Structure 1
Amino acid sequence: MMMPEVSVIVPAFNEERYIEETLRSIRKACAALRDRRTEIVVVDDGSRDGTFKLAMPLSDLVVQHPRSYGKGTALHTGCKMAHGRILVFLDADLGATAERFPSLVEPLLLGQSDMVIASLPPVKKKSGFGLVKKLARKGVHRLSGFEPVAPLSGQRAAHRGVLEHIGRFAGGFGVEVGLTIDAVKLGYRVQELDVPFAHRVSGRDIGGWMHRGKQLCAVGGTLWSRWRQPIC
C-alpha cells in the first residue's frame, strides 16, 4: 500500500454543525495537489454530539478520545496516527474555506519553508479586546525572536521531521504558540502566509468570554513552560 505524502489532521470537539462541510471541502482540495497522495485524519476529542458519526464517511481515519483531553493532545494523537511526510493542521469549523489548505503545503513542497502558518483576514464581528493575541505575540517574540502576525493560528503545515524533532505538544489552546517557539528556536524556517480561511468567531457573550479565558490561561501556561524548559 502506498503511503500518503500529505496528511490533513482535523481536531474536533462538538463540531457537528461544521464538520461535514469542512471535510468535503478538504477532500475537494486534495485534487489541487495533483499527484500527491493524501489522507484525512479526524481526532474526535470526546465529542458529545454527532461529530464522530458525521466524520466517518468523509475521512480516511477517525480517532475518538473517550473524553476531551484538549486541542494539544488531539493534535498529538493525529500526528501519531497519520502517515504523511507533510502534516497539515486544520480546525474543524473552517467550512468551505478549508478548500484553501493547499496554499499551506506549496512552500513545503518547493523547499521554501519548514513550517507554514496561515494568517487569516480580519474578522468583522467584534469579539474580545485582543489580550490573548497580544500576549501570544509578545511571548513568542520574547522567547524566540520571531515576531508573528498570527500567533494563535491553528491552520498550519509542517514537515513531519520538524514535529518529531520538537517532540512535545503544549496542552489545550497553547499548542500553536508552543510549536512556533520550539520550531524557531530549533532553527527551522517558519513562514506566515496570508490565506483567506474563515471560522467561527466567539462573540462578547458569556460563552465567548469563557473561551477567551481558557485561551489566556493556556497561552500563559505555555509561555511559562517554554521559558522554564526551553527546547534548546
Structure 2
Amino acid sequence: MLHKLNLENILFLDIETVPEFSEFSEMEAEKKLLWEDKSKYQRKDEFTPEEFYDRAGIWAEFGKIICISVGYFSFRNGSRNFRLTSFKGEEEKLLRDFSNLLEEHFFQPYHLLCAHNGKEFDFPYIARRMLIHGIRLPAKLDLFGKKPWEVPHLDTLELWKFGDYKHYTSLKLLTHVLGISSPKEDIDGSMVCEVYYKEKDLTRIVEYCERDVLAIAQVILRLRQENLLNETEISKI
C-alpha cells in the first residue's frame, strides 16, 4: 500500500516545543498547582515541580510550539526535488500560517500529513495549541467522527511497528538501522529548551527541526525501497 501513495500528496512535518514560560516562577499560582498535579506521575519523588519544569514542553497545556518545519516532494521534467520550509517564532502566528498552508495547498481528500510519532505527539499537540489560541482546526487535524482508516495521517513510528504496540523506536535509531544519515546533529530534543530560552538561538532549533523532516522523508523512501534523496535534490524555500 505504501508504494501506491503519490509522494507529492504527502506533507512531512516536525515540531519543536518548549515550556510556555522560561521559568517556573513565571506561572500564576493556580497553574503551578495544576502543573504539580499533572507532572506528579512522571516526577515521582525524584524532582520537585519546579525542578521538573524544563520538561513542560511535552504537554500542550503547559508548553508552546516555537517551530513547525515541513517538507514535500516535487517531480518536474523527470527530476525529483524535496522542498523544506519552516514556520517559526510567535506561536499564534506560526499556527495560523501553518493552518493556511493546509487549507490552501493540502486540503484534498488524498493529501496526507506524515511525522514520526505524529499520531501521539505532533498532530494532537498542534490541534490543542490551535484550539487554545481560538484557531479553527483545518480539516486535516479535525478528526471528530472519523473512522481510523479515514484519518489522513501517516506515522513512520507506526509503520515501523508493523502492529507491535509495545515497540517504540526513536527517529535516531530508525535512521541508523535503515542506513540514513542521522538527523540528530548539533543538538537533540532535550536541549531545545535551553537553546531557546538561554542561548536565544531559534535559527539553530529551526535547522534541527528541518533535519528531522528530511529524515522522516528519507525513512518513507527507504520503506518504499526507493533511492534516498541526495543533497542536490533538497532545497529550502
What is the TM-score with the length of structure 2 in the denominator?
A: 0.25
Q: Which has the higher contact order (CA 8 A, sep 6+)?
A: 2
- From the CA coordinates, give the structure whose radius of gyration is larger: 2
What is the TM-score with the length of structure 1 in the denominator?
A: 0.25
